[in-house]
Amino acid sequence: MKKTLTVLLALAMLSSAVMTSCSDATDNAETTAASSQTSAPDAASAEETEADEPQDFYTMTGLPRDLNLNGYDIKFDVEEGNNGTLTARSVWVEEDSGDIVDAAIFERNMNVMEGLNCNITLLASDTYGSSSNTKTRLRTQVQAGSDDVQLAGFYQYYGTVIATENLVYNMANFPYNDFTREYWGVGYMDALSYKGAYFFATGPMALRYTGGVYVTYVNSNLWNEFYAGTNLYDVVRDGKWTYDYLYDVTNATYIDANGNGSADASDTYGFILSLQDMVDGMAVGADVKWSERDTEGNVSIIVNNERSISFYEKLYKLMYNSTGAHSATQDDSVTVMKMFNDGYGMATINKMFQAEIYLREMEDNYTILPLPKLDEAQAEYNSAIHDGCTIFAIPITTGNPDAVSAVLEALAAESARLVSPAYYDQALKVKYTRDSDSGEMIDLIYSNISTDFAFMYSNNLTDIAHLFRNNISNKNEALASAMAKSEKAWGKMITRFLEKLDDVIDSQG
């Protein structure tokens, strides 16, 4: 019992630690500063929260124990990201295969189906991209007024485009959803919300939420070869893991491994990177803000500021003015992660779940660190979740949305109780790390996750979250002028988008 509660407290820290640079609606405006920092609960507070009643999804959610859905079939249609089947796996596994995460997901689903007398079905799993089959089917369903799918799971970047189409319910109107509970991604969902409306839900029940956090991977063998006298973990603990520090070690780390006198993908580098989605996460790690909200919940674009320029200058210097940096030409992570696995890069940045896919057989040891800070003056290490995070929504033609609301809440609670300990504490912190200090670093990474409204709805806002990746990929040094040219258009764009969101909220009451 104590172990279960300790895990739940850690999960609460993860969920509430997702800071939003823009506070939620008016109710949250005055508490943003107070809630933007979290610390681990001490042992005494953990003991004080222990209850005599065994934990299950009823005690965690407050759902009535006599709630009977009479065999109601909850059908999921989900959109999958690249590199694995984490979204589909988050929803359904066919059997307890013996894998610790699969076993937990299977048990969770059985508990919810038996407890609420319902069925859970996974209808489809489409890879995201130009086909966008999940959104296409949702639009068709709503147009036809049918009830084919009760829960849709979207790739966040692509899924948020439907927010203004009045295709999914505002779940804040349902009786069973409480998005302040620790088993939801509270801060992340606050950033997705608008004036108290929640069209999308996510949190630890989505493996791409927990596993999609960006981290720094460091090849321990290469680090010790070049910097044997420096304990990298102490560098992080001392607050010195910054872009200037990364530049210094990168600039001094290069081996012409194939001896051809030319820097290429067969050489060994201090830092390797795909200049794509990782750059978005790195900006968040440097505490860059795209938007902010006023006390009434209105959003404005603020990314044209000195911090954004400072981050970009440091990134440009790292990638183009250091002898030991190498940028890959692909966006799918395969090139960089294979290079890192094969020992051609001392450090790289990517999602946490990539360790399971690419590093299980890595011969060299590796360490896991947070994203670099902009500088030592930055108060904390910030983390970001990849925009492929799975977000769930209830189609507006769903016949019994209250029942779907109850099932979604129960799944979220049981995920926190069963799946998160298996995935976070066992898979991520033990199975896919090589030393105990990496576990400490992972706790640090998950203690302070950041995002904001414009970043989340970037696909509605002319890809504003891709500002840094687009410019660095094109080797454009003049970011300030690029932002100045776009600032007026950004203002008009966010105004039009928010007006459409207001219309949807008003139509649903």
Q: Is residue 57 part of a domain?
A: no
Q: Domains in the chain: how many in total?
A: 2
Considering the domain architecture, whether residues 223 and 265 belong to the same structural domain is answered as yes
Q: Is residue 190 part of a domain?
A: yes
Q: Which of 420, 446, 472 is the last residue of a domain?
A: 446
Say which CATH number the domain at 249 has. 3.40.190.10
Q: Is residue 102 part of a domain?
A: yes
Residues of the domain holding 198: 64-211+387-446
Considering the domain architecture, whether residues 392 and 486 belong to the same structural domain is answered as no
Considering the domain architecture, whether residues 228 and 256 belong to the same structural domain is answered as yes
Considering the domain architecture, whether residues 165 and 141 belong to the same structural domain is answered as yes
Q: Any idea what DSSP says for residue 461?
A: T
Q: Which of 115, 122, 72 is nearest to 392 (CA)?
A: 122
Q: Is residue 9 part of a domain?
A: no
Considering the domain architecture, whether residues 267 and 148 belong to the same structural domain is answered as no
192's CB contacts (< 8 A; 6+ apart) are: 160, 198, 199, 200, 202, 391, 453, 456
Straight-line distance from the first to the last Cα atom of the chain, in angstroms, rounded to the nearest whole number: 42
CA–CA distance, 402 with 195 (Å, rounded to integer): 22
Considering the domain architecture, whether residues 347 and 241 belong to the same structural domain is answered as yes
Q: Which of 402, 421, 446 is the last residue of a domain?
A: 446
Considering the domain architecture, whether residues 380 and 303 belong to the same structural domain is answered as yes
CB 400 within 8 A of CB 72: yes
Residue 149, token pair as written in the block: 């799918």
Q: Is residue 54 part of a domain?
A: no
Considering the domain architecture, whether residues 78 and 198 belong to the same structural domain is answered as yes
Considering the domain architecture, whether residues 241 and 305 belong to the same structural domain is answered as yes
Q: Is residue 27 part of a domain?
A: no
Predicted TM-score (pTM) above 0.85: yes
Considering the domain architecture, whether residues 484 and 338 belong to the same structural domain is answered as yes
Considering the domain architecture, whether residues 353 and 489 belong to the same structural domain is answered as yes
CA–CA distance, 204 with 251 (Å, rounded to integer): 38
Q: Is residue 146 part of a domain?
A: yes
Q: What is the pLDDT along the chain (509 residues), one digit of tens a residue?
A: 333 433 444 454 454 445 444 444 434 333 333 333 333 333 333 344 444 567 899 999 999 999 999 999 999 999 988 877 899 999 999 988 888 999 999 999 999 999 999 999 999 777 766 456 888 899 999 999 999 999 999 999 999 999 999 999 999 999 999 999 999 999 999 999 999 999 999 999 999 999 999 999 999 999 999 999 999 999 999 999 999 999 999 999 999 988 888 888 889 999 999 999 999 999 999 999 999 999 999 999 999 999 999 999 999 999 999 999 999 876 667 889 999 999 999 999 999 999 988 998 899 999 999 999 999 999 999 999 999 999 999 999 999 999 999 999 999 999 999 999 998 888 777 777 778 788 899 999 999 999 999 999 999 999 999 999 999 999 999 999 999 999 999 999 999 999 999 999 999 98
Q: Which of 396, 423, 446 is the last residue of a domain?
A: 446
Q: Which of 286, 351, 306 is nearest to 21 (CA)?
A: 286
Considering the domain architecture, whether residues 274 and 154 belong to the same structural domain is answered as no
Q: Is residue 493 part of a domain?
A: yes
**Residue the block writes with tokens 């360490």:** 367
